[in-house]
Amino acid sequence: MKAVRSLVLVSSDSESMAKGALDVHARLQQEIAAFGLSDEIAVAMVSDIGRHDAAPLVIVYPEAVVYGPVTPNDVRFLVEEHLFKGRLAAGLQLPARELSGRIAWISARKGTLPAEQRIVMERAGVIDPEDIEDYIAHNGYEALGKCITEMKPADVIAEIAKSGLRGRGGAGFPSGAKLKAVAQAPGAPKYVICNADESEPGTFKDRLILEGDPHSIIEAMAIAAYAVGASEGFIYVRGEYMLAQARLTTAIVQAREYGMLGQSIFGTGFSFDIHIHSGAGAYICGEETALIESIEGKRGEPRARPPYPTTHGLWGKPTLVNNVETLANLPAIVRNGAAWYKSFGTPSSPGTKVYTILGHVNMTGLIEVPMGITLREVITIYGKGMRSGSGFKLAQTGGSSGSIIPASLQDTPMDFDSFNKAGVSLGSGALLICDEDTCVVDLTRVLLKFFKNESCGKCGPCRIGTQRAYQLLTNLSEGTGTLHDLADLEMIADGLTQLSNCGLGQTAAVPIRDMLKYFRAEVEAHIKLKVCPAGACTLRVLS
């Protein structure tokens, strides 16, 4: 997405819409184009502004200037004065003391417009992914050479640890600590596994990394292998990712030919090679121990932990397992240093995060932005506002296994610690943005159907709990649920969290808990009033 110098937001709450916000939005686009500013300034709608007496509002971001009420007749003057001449549009601005706390996020980033910062995706779409020389021309394999010829394995681990990199698969575990655990684990040989079994619905970030920059993963795995003392690696790729597999295969062959893989890399004593293992479509194999079982030729079922893969992984040997996005950060950190990496994101969650944006926004797609951005900023800046000016109701992070985020948390910084403190999880990076016509009961029912179908069935709490939860949610959506069903759902969620053998069952409880925590009134309306407030469920009232 092209960076712009300013973003103009038009309020889209019900009061603003009734007073002509859509006409103001359309006129803004016309006048911005007339002044030749379309490439520099974007226009979007923003909801939940908390100011209805001055609607519709026009907010110029990142200058943190708020105008209102604005009519279509005011627009040309506003565009000419503020956006073209660079001075305040006299007579339209709201005094700063009158601004609502709900738009304090504008002032929080005054003077800065969050832009995409590509670290993981810096070469995707720039280089030919099937040409190793193009990769090398863009600093490719420079970090690997630096590691092997200038750094000891412990130095590499220390640099990754100092960078503060945390796993991007959803858990946020410190990457340096995992590297150190494998390096110090007794036993040989050791292995490095890239988890590319990206099966979360709505998530396709890893696929674009693999397809757009396959050599970055090969280089990253080699760096990780040098750090932990591994000689062999596996890329476990989702079976449906045929193009990614083809490009990885080509990249591995080229890397061997150029001496980046194989025996005595860079003429040193370090040897490392990589194999591709195609998945068979099982969502459960995204769990690292089930993935290891699959590579070993067994049924893809999670292992009991402990012991953990860091000491007892592939074929019982110490194994480093990281997902694609996590690994893709390693070359840039080694090449530029930990201090450089920590200049992005937040102190506790440095770096960037790749997100896929889906749902009821005007622009969907993929972005890479610094950690700590808010949902409101993602929706307004990169999603270009809610579709058709509708109001934002909720977002789901991280595919099916992520949290349901209510509108009240849309200004919470999207980093691991801030989300944990708020009682929600960041997940893998899929952002499903939903408007007010989305029914949370129906959404949760669909999610539990997915978990029910994808459960491996190894443990009873997950096998039976997901089935029972899905049936109760179906009853709610059909108008046959009872208040006692809500107590049962809470009990099932506790059982899934505490007794499930792996993360699938544990995360299946998350949407149930979020639904009851943030949207209980809407759920109870299905029971007490026999209505779906969003109009999405087909309730049948029994006589």
State how far Cα 25 lies from the chain centre.
29
* CB half-sphere exposure, 37, CA atoms < 13 A: 24
E-state strands within 167-295? 191-196, 232-237, 273-278
- DSSP letter at 272 equals B
Measured between alpha carbons, how far is 273 from 230 in angstroms, rounded to an integer? 10
Per the document, the length of the chain is 543
Q: In the prediction, which pLDDT does 201 show?
A: 82
Q: In the prediction, which pLDDT does 104 show?
A: 45
Sheet architecture: strand order including 65-67: 41-46, 6-11, 58-61, 65-67
**Structure tokens of 318?**
């110490």
3-state class of 197 per DSSP? coil
Measured between alpha carbons, how far is 434 from 419 in angstroms, rounded to an integer? 19
Q: In the prediction, which pLDDT does 62 show?
A: 72
Residues 6+ apart with CB under 8 A from 449: 470
Select from 276, 269, 253, 272 the least CA-distant residue to 261.
Answer: 272
70-79 per-residue burial string, b: 16 or more CB within 10 A, e: under 16: bebebbeebb
Per DSSP, the chain holds a count of helices (H) and strands (E) of 22, 13
Measured between alpha carbons, how far is 274 from 327 in angstroms, rounded to an integer? 14
Residues 6+ apart with CB under 8 A from 400: 200, 201, 447, 450, 451, 507, 511
| pLDDT per residue as tens, the chain (543 positions) | 455 678 888 887 778 888 998 899 999 999 999 999 988 888 877 765 656 677 888 988 777 788 989 999 999 999 999 999 989 998 888 765 444 444 444 444 444 555 567 899 999 888 999 999 999 999 999 999 999 999 999 999 999 999 999 998 877 899 999 999 999 999 999 999 999 998 888 888 899 999 999 999 999 999 999 999 999 999 999 988 999 999 999 999 999 999 999 999 998 989 999 999 999 888 888 889 999 999 999 998 889 889 999 999 999 999 999 999 999 999 999 999 999 999 999 999 999 999 999 999 888 888 898 999 888 888 888 887 888 767 889 999 887 888 999 988 988 999 999 999 999 888 888 899 999 999 999 999 999 999 999 888 888 899 999 999 999 999 999 999 999 999 999 999 999 999 988 888 888 999 999 999 999 999 999 999 999 999 888 875 443
Measured between alpha carbons, how far is 500 from 18 in angstroms, rounded to an integer? 50
Residue 288 and residue 321 in contact, taking contact as beta carbons nearer than 8 Å: yes
Longest dimension (CA), the chain: 81
What domains, with CATH codes, occur in the chain? 6-108 (3.40.30.10), 132-340 (3.40.50.11540), 345-435 (3.10.20.600), 440-528 (1.20.1440.230)
Give, to the nearest 10 degrees, the angle between helix 205-212 and helix 242-257: 40
